[in-house]
Structure 1
Amino acid sequence: MSSDNTKPNISRIYDYVLGGHNNFEVDRLAAEQILQVFPAYPRWAKLNRWFLQLIAEQWATQGQQRILDLGSGIPTQGHLHTVLPDAKILYTDNDAIAVAYARELLQDTPNVTFEQIDMRDASTVITAAERTFGTERQVAIGCIGISYFIDDTHLQQLMHALYDWAAPGSIMAVSALYGEIVSEDTRQAAELFKRNNAEIFPRNEAMIRALCAPWKVATLKPLTEWLDVKSLMQESDYVGNVEFNGIILERADT
């Protein structure tokens, strides 16, 4: 994954397929290549965004006051701080351009911080969380639209580090990519993501449960069920048995 405007960046590609304007020509060209072999990408991207908004509403109802969001991209309409205006929020992303632009957007929201962090470096994530939240470690953590760009080793390290740091009662929302890279279309799509600095890591349920441990899996179901939008999807959207799932994890009492 890169952080300049001469190479595609997955957060800006994501912004483009969602109809946003915070992207460059290099991102748009990369996105169009991906869409040729993975035309369902915008629909799945929208489901991830809608899931984020649903989680934000749930956290607001629960009265969550401390939010750590991983791989945030550019926090535009419907993002966490707009639904949770009184919460202390730490956004993170590895793209310097996204971070700089986000800080401009958020300059009038003093309770929101945006840090440039590669979430594959778990110690840096924890250091930033400690700097933002101090000794208050009961948090709600967002890992939506990003886990499938992180390899198994780094994702497991991150999950363990967050579990060790967070206080009992903390929760995490994750979206995960299920499926297999078996058809020609899925192989081409995977190769294009990798070529554009965003290798993907689809997994099955057993793998996800193992990687998320020792967090307790409280809920795991497809995003289409979370959002009640299965009728919007087409059969071709599931090529390679692709499915995006939403997961709620809990930090159990010790």
Structure 2
Amino acid sequence: MSGPAADPDRPSAARVYDYLLGGACNFETDRRFAERIVAAMPEARSAARENRDFLRRAVRYFRARGITQFLDLGSGIPTVGNVHEAVPDARVLYVDLDPIAVAHSEVELAGCPRAEVVLADMLDPDAVLGSAAARRLLDLEQPIAVLMVSVLHFVPDPMPAIRRYVEAMAPGSFLAITHGTRDARHPNNDSAVRLYDETGSASVSRDRAQVEALIDGLDLVEPGVVWTPQWHPDTAPGDGDPRESLIYAVVGRR
């Protein structure tokens, strides 16, 4: 399917995230916008890193439980701490609607036969799952990990798409979600939300109960809905406030 025309003069949520992670696949307009976000919410950089660290831990958790294929929806630009580098023996399909993010991804994935990217709308599961890349890489008769990391807070009504992906998942599959929330009670949260509205990626905040509802029908994987650094951390908790990560993480198993 065709995506929207690329507009390098308008900030992109995918490229802003790449910049916050220290990546190089972004434009001056993305960098200026990201610095406005950081000025309003200085935790934004560390929150982006905590979110990406969750992704790395989650995919390794899934791989240790026999998962060998991953569907990363709203993947952005897979440059810093990406899925196929965290689990190099697995098959990975990245999906994004931003044509510039996809073009960068194609360059990054050149020479990686086990990973591909497709330009598609994650809210059209039939188009995603029916794509040529999905047919090449994914076997939906076998367990899969579906990743929706820092994307659903840009989606007003994600449940129809989530239900379709869950329906397509074989028993033993996992769904991983991270989601921005106002539960962090950051004083400038509303300002940051209004800034993202300028990109055309209007932000939707959900509280803990609403985030857990996104995996309705799946078995909740412990420790449930937690701040990103609290989900199966590699190290003992530090002295920092986990709410400064600004983002909830939750995993469900079919």
TM-score (norm 2): 0.86
**Aligned partner of 2:109 among 101, 106, 109:** 106
SS in 2 for 1:45: helix
The aligned residue for residue 56 of structure 2 is 53
The aligned residue for residue 209 of structure 1 is 212
C-alpha distance in structure 1 between counterparts of 2:200 and 2:5, whole Å: 7
**Aligned partner of 2:151 among 146, 153, 156:** 146
The aligned residue for residue 94 of structure 1 is 97
The aligned residue for residue 138 of structure 2 is 133
**1:81-131, Cα deviation, whole Å (9 max, x unpaired):** 112222221111111111112112212111211001222223323323456
Letter of the 1:231 counterpart: G
Q: Which moved more, 1:194-203 or 1:77-86?
A: 77-86
The aligned residue for residue 65 of structure 1 is 68
**Aligned partner of 1:231 among 230, 238, 244:** 238
The alpha-carbon distance between structure 1 residues 56 and 2, as it changes in their structure 2 partners (threshold 3 A), is farther
Task: Report how many aligned residue pairs link the two structures.
Answer: 245
SS in 2 for 1:246: strand
Verify the 8 A CA contact 1:71 1:143 in the aligned structure 2. yes
**1:23-81, Cα deviation, whole Å (9 max, x unpaired):** 00110111111112111111111100100111122233223111111111111243111
The aligned residue for residue 44 of structure 2 is 41
Root mean square deviation, CA, Å: 2.4
The alpha-carbon distance between structure 1 residues 77 and 102, as it changes in their structure 2 partners (threshold 3 A), is same
C-alpha distance in structure 1 between counterparts of 2:196 and 2:220, whole Å: 29
**1:175-254 paired onto structure 2 within 5 Å:** 175-179=178-182, 185-219=188-222, 220=224, 221-226=226-231, 227=233, 231=238, 233=240, 238=244, 243-251=246-254
5+ residue gaps in structure 1? none
The aligned residue for residue 84 of structure 1 is 87
Deviation at 1:230, TM superposition (A): 5.2
Identity percentage over the alignment? 29
The alpha-carbon distance between structure 1 residues 23 and 232, as it changes in their structure 2 partners (threshold 3 A), is farther
C-alpha distance in structure 1 between counterparts of 2:19 and 2:175, whole Å: 27
SS in 2 for 1:20: coil
The alpha-carbon distance between structure 1 residues 27 and 243, as it changes in their structure 2 partners (threshold 3 A), is closer
Verify the 8 A CA contact 2:175 2:215 in the aligned structure 1. no
- Note if 1:116 corresponds to 2:119: yes
SS in 1 for 2:123: coil
5+ residue gaps in structure 2? none
